[in-house]
Copies of this chain bind each other. A is one copy, B any other.
Amino acid sequence: MPLSRVRIVLIATSHPGNIGAAARAMKNMCLDKLVLVRPRLFPHEGATARASGAGELLENARCVDSLEEAVTGCRLVIGASARLRTITWPLMTPRETAQKVVSHYDETDVALVFGREHSGLTNEELDLCHYLVNIPTNPDFSSLNLAMAVQLLAYEVLLASEEVTPASQQGQLPAEVEKFEGFVQHLEQTLTDIDFSDPRKSDKLIRKLRRFFMRAAPDDEELNLLRGILSAAQGRKSMRRDETSKE
């Protein structure tokens, strides 16, 4: 019954009350997997008080050190973003997000990621997200309380899950986050090897490329293909050719 493949990931939450309120909101909407990345104060009585009858979600919450660790094994990572950023990113409404989560529910764990109360997600954290979700709000007062944002998305996920709409498959699932990271590292190394970039000043370049490839959400086969091309560009034996490489 609980939608256990949907993780709610809260990053560096300042107010323990928000963690408790988020847990209650989750349980109200049949979610039960809470992952906390470096919470400021946890466990904490302020969290327990606001959780009301959802204390077991706090007890079972997983505490980790990085978002990367929190989303391990997820092939769908969706970050909640308060503002429209200048960055080009596939941006979804909560309803579209819930549809996507539900349509892939049988195939993978999914992470819905919520940033810090005041500053949201860092660029490095955004880099790990396949999509961003923006909750429509009053443009003059757009900053939602963290637990409220969790409540709204959890509500949409519950509604979508009850709509019994698996049907509309969205194509292949992207590869797991770890595999994608492996590809990005390989890409970075290759750019140095082929004299395209200086590793000491390539941060901005790599971010651009990472976003580009993340947007395309490559699946396992595509990542293998891309890595084969990188290896060939590096002058190593291509992984795709059967015959021995002619050096």
When the two chains form their complex, are residues A170 and B90 in contact, meaning their CB atoms are under 8 A apart? yes
B194 and A148 contact, CB distance less than 8 A? no
Asked if A165 and B136 make an inter-chain contact with CB atoms under 8 angstroms apart, the answer reads yes
Looking across the interface, which residue of chain B has its beta carbon closest to that of A194? Answer: B232
A138 at the interface (CB under 8 A from B): yes
Copies of this protein in the assembly total: 2
Interface size class of A (residues with CB under 8 A): 35 or more
- Kindly specify which of A35-43, A71-79, A177-185, A207-215 makes contact with the partner chain: A207-215
Q: Is the CB of B233 within 8 A of A194?
A: yes
Give complex CA distance A216, B216 in Å: 4
**In the bound complex, how far is the Cα of B90 from the Cα of A141, in angstroms?**
34
- Is A28 interfacial (CB-CB < 8 Å)? yes
Instruction: Kindly state whether residue A66 has any CB partner on chain B within 8 Å.
Output: no
Partner-contacting stretch, out of A102-110, A120-128, A238-246 = A238-246
Contacting B at CB under 8 A, from A69-116, are 84, 87-93, 96
Q: Find chain B residues with CB under 8 A from A92 CB.
A: 168
Find chain B residues with CB under 8 A from A196 CB.
228-229, 232-233, 238, 240-241
Q: List the B side residues contacting A212 at CB < 8 Å.
A: 216, 218, 222, 225-226
Residue of B25, B88, B155, B246 touching A145 (CB-CB under 8 A): B25
**A15-31, CB under 8 A of B: which get 1 and which 0?**
00000010011011110
Q: Which residues of B contact A134 (CB under 8 A)?
A: 167
Chain B residues in 8 Å Cβ range of A152: 151-152, 155
User: Are A24 and B145 closer than 8 Å at their CB atoms?
Assistant: yes
| Complex contact B53–A141 (CB within 8 A) | yes
State the Cβ distance, A77 to closest chain B Cβ, in Å: 17
Using CB atoms, name the residue of chain B closest to A247.
B195
Q: How far is the CA of A138 from the CA of B162 in the complex (A)?
A: 11
The 7 closest A-B pairs by CB, nearest first: A88-B171, A216-B216, A196-B232, A233-B233, A30-B138, A88-B172, A194-B232
**Apart from A136-B158, A152-B155: 15 A-B pairs, beta carbons within 8 A:** A28-B137, A28-B148, A54-B141, A91-B169, A92-B168, A136-B167, A137-B158, A147-B148, A148-B148, A194-B229, A195-B245, A195-B246, A209-B225, A212-B222, A216-B216
